[in-house]
Chains A and B, each alone.
Chain A
């Protein structure tokens, strides 16, 4: 299990490097999918399986799918993958940065303890992640409404920006 967590975390960092090195949106979307999937694996490993499921469904299966389709609409004749020289340079740079950060901030070679969702609160009926969801709907009601307002505002902003054909800022494709 520790080994699996190591592999997942390595995939997370490599996916981050893959996205940040500025390839074409095709490949960057694939990098995002890998990062999201691996991140969900990390969540499962620390005990938050419900959150992981929700993340898979909504983020990967909702938002990333929409993003992948809109990236497909921005098709280029010569897409830059990670083999092309400018992207490869950035990949190398970021990997060096990761190594430097590990050297500066990392302490030892063995695994440190992640507290996870199970061991924080002691003996409870619900795990941490499901208990958090129930709290969000009960005590955090106002914050939930605030979060809902922000999402609605984002929708209005995007619709206003893409109204198209002279009345919006971006032309309708």
Chain B
């Protein structure tokens, strides 16, 4: 891709999210989301393979459906209440439709089926942009919708934790595992949104940092499958030592940072007299912990069979930018 087009697309990604963040009118917020969707399409097809084209097509269908539903919900809100203000979405049809549309945009269950297939067809860098940057703009809008009852958000959240954990159970492709992990984490964020929005932001920011780190460590060792992960331990030994920490943080184990949002969310749920929801969320997160543990097991804790030359990649010219080498 020529540098001019590449920079135009990257700048448009920035413009779209900024526009949604800065807007109080539903039209402008929708416009920002559409700019994001359009700008990432050529970035997704960059590897020019049929798999990438298929992933891009699926992404476009899912996002276009969600955008159309979002626009319809905003227009129906304007029809019933006369206001285009994002904070004034009082009509029940509107905020329900908006919640479902935005849930489809970020990949919450039961509207999550596009996520693993789309992530599988992308390079790790594009998957990273999809998992982190593309979630910012719809999440900003989810944060601002104020529904009258927490039921829909809790249902979406709990279903996402279940789907993200249970779905990632049998995966060996790292990008699909990361997609399911993203679904589960977004489920935790949305679960607590009606009760304590700051906790949602805590969960979101920790998720961004942890997912970015994990994607980047996979990018540095260029691994996309558990098989290649198992023989990648000798490439960058420091990374091999640190990646289990990232994985266990994603799994939510203390004393790592990833435990903090889960702890506070469980505490807030108990304070709201929703102990059963808290127990279910914690139990189904064990599924996610299982596949994070499996990744750290294959990468760091065991040495799968390889010839002795497999112990030497760290001696070769480094293609990474870590220090110390």
Contact = CB atoms under 8 A, between A and B. Distances in A.
Interface string B1-19: 1000100110010010001
Given A167-B48, A170-B53, A160 B28 contact: no
Contacts of A170: 53
A161 B42 contact: yes
A4 B42 CA distance: 45
A166 B50 CA distance: 11
Nearest to B4: A156
Contact of B5 (A146, A149, A154, A160): A160
Contacts of A154: 38
Interface string B48-60: 1000110010000
A132 interface: no
Given A156-B9, A166-B48, A169-B48, A143 B39 contact: no
A128 B89 CA distance: 25
Contacts of B35: 149-150, 153
Interface residues of B, number: 21
Contacts of A168: 45, 48
Interface residues of A, number: 16
Interface of A: 143, 146-147, 149-150, 153-154, 156-157, 160-161, 166-170
Interface of B: 1, 5, 8-9, 12, 15, 19, 27-28, 31, 34-35, 38-39, 41-42, 45, 48, 52-53, 56
28 contacts: A143-B27, A143-B28, A146-B31, A147-B31, A149-B12, A149-B15, A149-B35, A150-B31, A150-B34, A150-B35, A150-B38, A153-B8, A153-B35, A153-B38, A154-B38, A156-B9, A156-B42, A157-B9, A157-B38, A160-B1, A160-B9, A161-B45, A168-B45, A169-B42, A169-B48, A169-B52, A169-B53, A170-B53
